[in-house]
Amino acid sequence: MAHIHNFSAGPSILPKSVFEEASRAVVDFNGSGLSILEMSHRSKDFVAVMDEARSLVKEILGLGDDYDVLFLQGGASTGFLISAYNMLRENNRGGYINTGSWANKAVKEGKWVGDALEVASSKEANYNFIPKGYESPTDVDYLHYTSNNTIFGTQYHHIPDVTVPLVCDMSSDIFSRPIDASKFDLIYAGAQKNMGPAGTTVYIFKKEILGKSSADIPTMLNLKTHADKDSMFNTPPVFPVYVSMLVLRWIKSLGLEEVGRRNEAKANLLYGEVERNGMFKATAALEDRSWMNGTFVLADGIDEGLNQTFLDMAAEANISGIKGHRSVGGFRASMYNALPIESVGALVDVMKAFEEKYG
Ligand SMILES: *Cc1c(COP(=O)(O)O)cnc(C)c1O
């Protein structure tokens, strides 16, 4: 099998050791003689997986018994709706920071449930920065933001300072570095960017938010339904939860500090080359550049026809997944937790070779 440098934006690279262990569990889980895919989710073996996954999330984030963790289905796209339903209170309104496509979708779903007020936006600059200096809203039930903008390559390097409950879509940077998770009332994240395979979404929330919504919540969208049943109200996505648990063990063994150091080093290596290399320019504002998704385009004056040439050169070097999202163009190097720095080095080598040939 060729060694591929996998810069996919999601579903994304996971540790190879996890793939190996997961593949064994598909054939025979824990020596039970059964595949993990064919056993009851109520079996002792699987209940232990769910319990460990939930407690690893709290342990890694340093959260106590006042928080609960669920592994549900529906993707972060259902999280837009679940967060609004569960956080709505007497103001009948959520506040949203609009930092790109995913944030927009969160606003749209928020409007199914109540009012959704756009508190700040970077839309006029094609979302190339994180809004700051806006007035912190008070007449909303919660403030929702997207910590990392997977498509536009911007990331919050701070936690918004607000007095209302804080809700965050952390799909593409959860567990990528230490954070003060106790500042949040509700965090949700689709697993497939940084935590596991597609098919499960993690919800991390203060227990005290349950049962307080002013909305009439459909059963499956009510976090209390799932919390009351230890994330087993209905059949959970057993395999994605299992693989996520393996990834969480790997993250725990490294420690979030080390994971963060590695991610910062990768980002510095990539952006350093983007800055140095006259063929390219970054699309995101310097202070808001994402450690997870590095977006860059050809520099002004460089023949647009060379876009494909660069992609071809990258493919030649076994670099996969760097074509930019259509709303930004150019290139996007997603550097999630499991991507080794050597892969970023391989990309930088191609950028240098490209400059030498066409610069
Ligand atoms: C990918 C992504 C989503 C959508 O996740 P799904 O699991 O596909 O619904 C939402 N928010 C962010 C920030 C994402 O990166």
Q: Mind listing the pLDDT tens digit for each residue in 151-193?
A: 999 999 999 999 999 999 999 999 999 999 999 999 999 999 9
Q: Where in the chain is the domain with CATH 3.40.640.10?
A: 16-254
Phi/psi of residue 198, nearest 5 degrees: -65, 150
Q: Residue whose CA is closest, atom 5 of ligand 1? A: 76
Question: By the 8 A CB rule, do 194 and 292 touch?
Answer: yes
What band does 298 get if pLDDT is binned at 50, 70 and 90? very high
171 close to ligand 1 (CB < 6 Angstrom): yes
Say which residue the tokens 């030649």 belong to.
316
pLDDT given for residue 2 in this prediction: 79
| Predicted pLDDT at 332 | 98
Does residue 193 line the site of ligand 1, with CB under 6 A? yes
**Long-range pairs, 256-259, Cβ under 8 A, ≥24:** 256/60, 256/175, 256/177, 256/178, 257/178, 259/175, 259/176, 259/177, 259/337
State the DSSP H helix or E strand holding residue 25, giving kind and residue range, or none if neither: helix 16-27
Query: Would you list the DSSP string of 331-358?
Result: EEEE--TT--HHHHHHHHHHHHHHHHHH
Q: Known catalytic residue: 112?
A: no
Q: What six digits make up the tokens of 333? A: 């190097």
The predicted structure's pLDDT at residue 234:
98
* CATH domain 16-254 topology: Aspartate Aminotransferase; domain 2 (3.40.640)
Q: What is the pTM of this model?
A: 0.98
Outline which parts of the chain fall under CATH 3.90.1150.10: 256-358
Distance CA(163)–CA(129), nearest Å, equals 23
Mean pLDDT for the stretch of residues 221-244: 98
Say which residues have a Cβ less than 8 Å from residue 336's Cβ, sequence separation at least 6.
10, 12, 13, 172, 176, 193, 194, 292
Position 136 pLDDT exceeds 90: no
Q: Is 1's pLDDT higher than 90?
A: no
- Per-residue pLDDT tens digits for 41-86: 999 999 999 999 999 999 999 999 999 999 999 999 999 999 999 9
Atom of ligand 1 nearest to the CA of 198: 7
Q: Is 146 in the pocket of ligand 1 (CB under 6 A)?
A: yes
The residue contributing the CA closest to ligand 1 atom 14 is: 171
- Per the annotation, the verdict on 16 as an active-site residue is no
Which residue among 141, 173, 185, 193 is the active-site one? 193
- Kindly give the distance from the C-alpha atom of residue 94 to the centroid of ligand 1, in angstroms, as a whole number: 19
The question of whether 250 is a catalytic residue gets the answer no
Mean pLDDT of 318-346: 97
Q: What is the mean pLDDT of residues 304-326?
A: 97
Annotation: CATH topology of 256-358: Aspartate Aminotransferase, domain 1 (3.90.1150)
pLDDT of residue 239: 98
Any ligand 1 atom below 6 A from CB of 293: no
